[in-house]
Amino acid sequence: MKRWNRHSLLWPCVVCLLLVVLNLLWGSTTISFTEIWQTITQSSAGHETTRTILLELRLPTILTAILAGSALAVCGLLMQTIFNNPLADPSILGVSAGASLGVAIVVLLIGGTFISSTFVLSGHILTTLSAWVGAGCVIAILLLCHAVFHSATSVLISGVLIGFMVSALTSLLSFFATVQGLHSFIAWTLGSFQNVTWGSMSFFAGILLLSFIGISVLAKPLNALLLGEAYAQNAGFSVKRIRMWILTISGLLTATVTVYCGPIAFIGLFVPHAVRFMLRSSNHRLLLPATLLWGANTALFCHWIAILPENIGVLPINSITPILGVPMALYLMMRSSR
């Protein structure tokens, strides 16, 4: 069993390394492997344009894809476990919609700047705070629904309804927005991993890595929840506290990724199912790290596919994830039914 676990985590690491190299090589400007090696090892001064493309453009995008894909995938795994429903993920439960509404208020309603008598907020600080507030409000409503209904299925349905309502509010803001604001907001909703620079990477990566550390202690209570809420309570775990902790971390991860990359869909829904199918295991000590790795690989692969040749541009990530994910999900469903 230990050998299988080791191999099950080794292969996604190898795939991740290959995808990183492919994303470094491929782009509007083709760069050879020799140039990449010389830039990394600094064995040659190299061409300044090549160094700029690799270190200032492609490398931050690759790191962003790794972190964002890992965050979305693990959020889907956590929510599917605590709600015991294969359709649960941040986008289905309305958390992504809440974060998007926070960004829409900043971009479409107040023009990206909040001014008061004591301070001024603008840029990513304001949009991040707004997204956190939007996701937090949705999570608070979900927790209230859980306290009232005492049913995971009812909470899931409530999340879907909340998502529809929040999306309707976002549509109203879009209807009354200016052309310039609406154009910026629509471009953001299409999804991209190219919006994080080295200046904002420390904040983006810090929030996500701290959240990953908080998730690492949840394997044992999540395994207990698989056997039912009664078993988890008899084992000494507070189901209510676990759900609150998971929803808080998932909201923080989802809101942070949404601010910088847009409301990227389907990774959180598809990757956990694919990992369970590949590993044939429900042990979260193995599922959590494997889901993190395969979420990163999925995001890297989608970004690599989205890059068009000959400086044409980059396709939106949200136009790639469903096209690749839906056939794979249907294939896994057919294999499982057999």
Q: How far does CA 51 lie from the centroid of its chain?
A: 29
Task: Round the CA-based radius of gyration of the chain to a whole number and report it.
Answer: 21
Once rounded to an integer, what is the mean pLDDT over residues 297-309? 89
| Residue 280 CB coordination number (10 Å) | 8
Catalogue all structural domains in the chain, each as residue range(s) with its CATH number: 2-337 (1.10.3470.10)
Answer with the residue of higher pLDDT: 44 or 28: 28
Q: Is the pLDDT at 204 greater than 70, yes or no?
A: yes
Burial class (CB in 10 A: 0-12, 13-18, 19+), 97: buried
Look at residue 2 and tell me whether its pLDDT is greater than 60.
no
The token duo for 306 is 């989205």
Distances in whole angstroms, Cα of residue 49 to Cα of each of 23, 30, 248, 313: 17, 12, 43, 18
Q: Are 291 and 75 in contact (CB under 8 A)?
A: no
Q: Which residues pair with 122 in a beta bridge?
A: 113
The pLDDT tens digits of the residues spanning 48-77 come to: 777 777 888 889 999 999 999 999 999 999
Residue type at position 9: L
Q: Is pLDDT at 249 greater than 80 in this prediction?
A: yes
Q: Is the dihedral of CA 127, 177, 254, 139 positive or negative?
A: positive
Furthest CA-CA distance within the chain: 65
Average pLDDT over residues 71-88: 86
Tokens, residue 246:
């998971």
- First-to-last C-alpha distance (Å) of the chain: 25
Kindly give, in sequence order, each residue whose CB lies less than 8 Å from that of residue 226, ignoring residues fewer than 6 positions away: 81, 282
User: Over pLDDT 90: what percentage of the chain?
Assistant: 17
Q: pLDDT tens across 101-159, in order? A: 888 888 888 766 655 545 455 567 778 888 888 888 888 888 788 778 767 777 778 88
Express each pLDDT in 218-248 by its tens digit.
Answer: 888 888 888 877 888 888 888 778 888 888 8
pTM listed for this prediction: 0.86
Specify the higher pLDDT residue, 334 or 275.
275
Residue 7: pLDDT over 70? no
Helix (H) or strand (E) holding 114: strand 113-115
